[in-house]
Amino acid sequence: MQPDETVTILDLTFTPLFSEQKVQARVRELGTALTDRFAGQKPLFISILSGAFVFASDLIRSFKGDCEVGFVKLSSYKGTQSTGSIQTVMGLEKEIAGRHLIVVEDIVDTGRTLHYFLNLLEQQRPASICAVTFLRKPEAAAFPVQVDFVGFDIEDKFVVGYGLDYEGWGRNLPGVYQLSAG
């Protein structure tokens, strides 16, 4: 279904940005690209909770090959603004030394979250680290961070849907919606 309707979440109104079909097609492309890149390497996907759980669940199912999946919860956002400090809420239980890691993020905004997390992973001597993000806001990139695969580059507007939330709501929307001006 085309997301041609605006949605209201609490006090804010959002307009359609990417349809479910567009999202699904792009995620399949990323899955195919990762399948090619990691053929025979048995990678460990690390999904950053909470926002990336929807993207990660589709991405791993379009990955054709052996893999494991782990989760870590990091959070820097309150409402629609980055708070500037990262709190690791839930740690990774998997051994990552010597593993090929695919870090799955919902959105790179300032880059702070990914910058912090990739550095943390580096210290544990993985065989390689590949960073995949569903969305990226290039205008807001204050922390230089290498992202290997990007679903969509978007403008610097707050978005919800496909795992992304406003105050906990909107994660179940199958498409992506952006905050209306005004």
Residues that bind Mg ion (CB under 5 A): 51, 77, 165
The gap from C-alpha 134 to its chain's centroid, in whole angstroms, comes to 5
Within 32-71, which residues bind ligand XMP (CB under 6 A)? 51
When binding is defined by CB under 6 A, the residue of 22, 24, 76, 152 that contacts ligand XMP is 76
- Asked whether position 77 contacts ligand XMP by CB under 6 A, the answer is yes
The entry of Mg ion, ligand XMP, none near residue 35 (CB within 5 to 8 angstroms by kind) is none
Residues 6+ apart with CB under 8 A from 123: none
Q: Quick check: 27 and 35 in contact, CB under 8 A? A: no
Pairwise CA distance, residues 175 & 180, whole Å:
16
Q: Check if 36 is active-site.
A: no
User: In the stretch 95-134, what mask flags binding to ligand XMP with x, by CB under 6 A?
Assistant: ----------xxxxxxxxx---------------------
The residue (of 34 and 52) whose beta carbon lies closer to Mg ion is 52
- Asked whether position 82 contacts ligand XMP by CB under 6 A, the answer is yes
Pairwise CA distance, residues 103 & 21, whole Å:
24
E-strand stretches of the chain: 7-9, 12-18, 44-49, 68-78, 81-90, 100-108, 128-136, 149-153, 159-160, 176-179
User: In the stretch 152-181, what mask flags binding to ligand XMP with x, by CB under 6 A?
Assistant: ------xxx---xx----------------
Which among 8, 15, 42, 24 is positioned nearest to 178, based on CA atoms?
15
The residue (of 105 and 165) whose beta carbon lies closer to Mg ion is 165
Contact set with ligand XMP (CB under 6 A): 51, 76-77, 82, 105-113, 158-160, 164-165
